[in-house]
Protein backbone atom coordinates (compact mmCIF):
# COMPACT_ATOMS: atom_id res chain seq x y z
CA UNK A 1 0.00 0.00 0.00
CA UNK A 2 1.41 3.35 -1.01
CA UNK A 3 1.75 6.31 1.32
CA UNK A 4 -1.14 8.09 -0.44
CA UNK A 5 -3.40 5.05 -0.14
CA UNK A 6 -2.59 4.68 3.56
CA UNK A 7 -3.39 8.33 4.25
CA UNK A 8 -6.67 8.15 2.31
CA UNK A 9 -7.65 4.90 4.07
CA UNK A 10 -6.98 6.40 7.50
CA UNK A 11 -9.07 9.45 6.61
CA UNK A 12 -11.97 7.28 5.44
CA UNK A 13 -11.84 5.00 8.49
CA UNK A 14 -11.65 7.97 10.83
CA UNK A 15 -14.51 9.81 9.16
CA UNK A 16 -16.80 6.79 8.86
CA UNK A 17 -16.30 5.73 12.48
CA UNK A 18 -16.90 9.29 13.63
CA UNK A 19 -20.04 9.40 11.47
CA UNK A 20 -21.33 6.24 13.14
CA UNK A 21 -20.77 7.74 16.58
CA UNK A 22 -22.21 11.13 15.66
CA UNK A 23 -25.25 9.60 14.00
CA UNK A 24 -26.06 7.44 17.00
CA UNK A 25 -25.54 10.36 19.40
CA UNK A 26 -27.66 12.78 17.44
CA UNK A 27 -30.39 10.19 16.90
CA UNK A 28 -30.55 9.46 20.63
CA UNK A 29 -30.52 13.13 21.60
CA UNK A 30 -32.98 14.47 19.03
CA UNK A 31 -35.31 11.54 18.41
CA UNK A 32 -35.27 8.81 21.02
CA UNK A 33 -34.92 10.84 24.19
CA UNK A 34 -37.64 13.43 23.41
CA UNK A 35 -40.03 10.65 22.42
CA UNK A 36 -39.37 8.86 25.72
CA UNK A 37 -40.04 12.07 27.63
CA UNK A 38 -43.38 12.48 25.83
CA UNK A 39 -44.36 8.84 26.37
CA UNK A 40 -47.05 8.56 29.04
CA UNK A 41 -46.46 4.87 29.75
CA UNK A 42 -43.41 4.95 32.02
CA UNK A 43 -43.07 1.16 32.17
CA UNK A 44 -42.82 0.85 28.38
CA UNK A 45 -40.48 3.83 28.17
CA UNK A 46 -38.13 2.35 30.74
CA UNK A 47 -38.03 -0.96 28.84
CA UNK A 48 -37.23 0.93 25.63
CA UNK A 49 -34.48 2.89 27.38
CA UNK A 50 -32.86 -0.26 28.76
CA UNK A 51 -33.02 -1.79 25.28
CA UNK A 52 -31.35 1.28 23.80
CA UNK A 53 -28.58 1.16 26.38
CA UNK A 54 -27.87 -2.49 25.57
CA UNK A 55 -27.69 -1.70 21.84
CA UNK A 56 -25.31 1.24 22.27
CA UNK A 57 -22.28 -0.98 22.81
CA UNK A 58 -20.89 -0.02 19.38
CA UNK A 59 -20.44 3.62 20.33
CA UNK A 60 -17.24 3.16 22.38
CA UNK A 61 -15.82 0.95 19.63
CA UNK A 62 -16.52 3.64 17.02
CA UNK A 63 -14.94 6.29 19.26
CA UNK A 64 -11.82 4.15 19.76
CA UNK A 65 -11.50 3.41 16.04
CA UNK A 66 -11.85 7.10 15.28
CA UNK A 67 -9.28 8.09 17.90
CA UNK A 68 -6.75 5.50 16.79
CA UNK A 69 -7.10 6.22 13.07
CA UNK A 70 -7.13 10.00 13.53
CA UNK A 71 -4.04 10.03 15.71
CA UNK A 72 -2.29 7.56 13.39
CA UNK A 73 -3.15 9.78 10.43
CA UNK A 74 -1.72 12.84 12.14
CA UNK A 75 1.54 11.06 12.95
CA UNK A 76 1.73 9.55 9.47
CA UNK A 77 1.52 13.04 7.91
CA UNK A 78 3.43 14.94 10.62
CA UNK A 79 6.26 16.99 9.23
CA UNK A 80 4.95 16.86 5.68
CA UNK A 81 2.98 19.33 3.59
CA UNK A 82 -0.14 17.23 4.32
CA UNK A 83 0.11 17.67 8.10
CA UNK A 84 -3.25 18.70 9.55
CA UNK A 85 -3.75 19.16 13.29
CA UNK A 86 -7.50 18.57 12.89
CA UNK A 87 -6.89 14.82 12.93
CA UNK A 88 -4.95 14.99 16.19
CA UNK A 89 -7.60 17.26 17.73
CA UNK A 90 -10.40 14.97 16.55
CA UNK A 91 -8.73 11.86 17.93
CA UNK A 92 -7.95 13.54 21.23
CA UNK A 93 -11.44 14.93 21.71
CA UNK A 94 -13.03 11.57 20.95
CA UNK A 95 -10.76 10.01 23.58
CA UNK A 96 -11.99 12.66 26.05
CA UNK A 97 -15.53 11.43 25.48
CA UNK A 98 -14.74 8.28 27.49
CA UNK A 99 -14.15 9.93 30.88
CA UNK A 100 -17.02 12.35 30.21
CA UNK A 101 -19.39 9.48 29.49
CA UNK A 102 -18.20 7.31 32.37
CA UNK A 103 -18.37 10.09 34.95
CA UNK A 104 -21.55 11.91 33.90
CA UNK A 105 -23.71 9.64 31.76
CA UNK A 106 -22.61 6.29 33.21
CA UNK A 107 -24.24 6.73 36.64
CA UNK A 108 -27.52 7.66 34.99
CA UNK A 109 -27.34 4.59 32.75
CA UNK A 110 -26.77 2.42 35.83
CA UNK A 111 -29.93 3.83 37.41
CA UNK A 112 -31.90 3.15 34.23
CA UNK A 113 -30.68 -0.46 34.22
CA UNK A 114 -31.15 -1.11 37.95
CA UNK A 115 -34.61 0.34 38.38
CA UNK A 116 -37.16 -2.09 36.98
CA UNK A 117 -40.35 -0.17 37.68
CA UNK A 118 -40.48 3.59 37.48
CA UNK A 119 -44.28 3.72 37.77
CA UNK A 120 -44.07 4.40 41.49
CA UNK A 121 -41.78 7.36 40.92
CA UNK A 122 -42.46 9.06 37.59
CA UNK A 123 -40.61 12.18 38.75
CA UNK A 124 -37.43 10.15 39.13
CA UNK A 125 -37.93 8.80 35.59
CA UNK A 126 -38.37 12.23 34.02
CA UNK A 127 -35.51 13.63 36.08
CA UNK A 128 -33.18 10.88 34.88
CA UNK A 129 -34.24 11.42 31.27
CA UNK A 130 -33.69 15.15 31.56
CA UNK A 131 -30.27 14.67 33.15
CA UNK A 132 -29.30 12.08 30.55
CA UNK A 133 -30.29 14.43 27.74
CA UNK A 134 -28.49 17.38 29.34
CA UNK A 135 -25.22 15.45 29.43
CA UNK A 136 -25.81 13.82 26.05
CA UNK A 137 -26.29 17.06 24.06
CA UNK A 138 -22.63 18.23 24.31
CA UNK A 139 -21.40 14.79 23.24
CA UNK A 140 -23.75 14.78 20.25
CA UNK A 141 -22.87 18.35 19.27
CA UNK A 142 -19.13 17.72 19.52
CA UNK A 143 -19.20 14.51 17.51
CA UNK A 144 -21.47 16.01 14.84
CA UNK A 145 -19.22 19.06 14.48
CA UNK A 146 -16.10 16.91 14.23
CA UNK A 147 -17.83 14.68 11.68
CA UNK A 148 -18.86 17.65 9.52
CA UNK A 149 -15.32 19.00 9.53
CA UNK A 150 -13.97 15.50 8.84
CA UNK A 151 -16.24 15.10 5.81
CA UNK A 152 -15.09 18.51 4.56
CA UNK A 153 -11.44 17.58 5.07
CA UNK A 154 -11.99 14.22 3.38
CA UNK A 155 -13.69 15.67 0.31
CA UNK A 156 -11.34 18.62 -0.07
CA UNK A 157 -8.10 16.68 0.35
CA UNK A 158 -5.84 16.24 -2.60
CA–CA gap between residue 139 and residue 62 (Å, rounded): 14
**pTM score of the predicted model:** 0.86
Instruction: Give residue limits of the domains in the chain.
Output: 3-156
Task: Select from 98, 105, 100 the least CA-distant residue to 132.
Answer: 105
Of 15-19, 29-33, 116-120, give the lowest mean pLDDT range.
116-120
| Percent of the chain residues past pLDDT 90, beyond the cut | 41
Confidence of residue 116 (pLDDT cuts 50, 70, 90): low
CA–CA gap between residue 65 and residue 16 (Å, rounded): 10
Angle made by CA atoms 41, 140, 158, in degrees to the nearest 5: 145
Amino acid sequence: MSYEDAVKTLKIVSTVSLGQFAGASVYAALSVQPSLIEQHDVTTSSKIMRSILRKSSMMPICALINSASSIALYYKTRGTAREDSYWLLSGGLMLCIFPYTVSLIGPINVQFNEERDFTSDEDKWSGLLTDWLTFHYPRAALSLTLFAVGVYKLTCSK
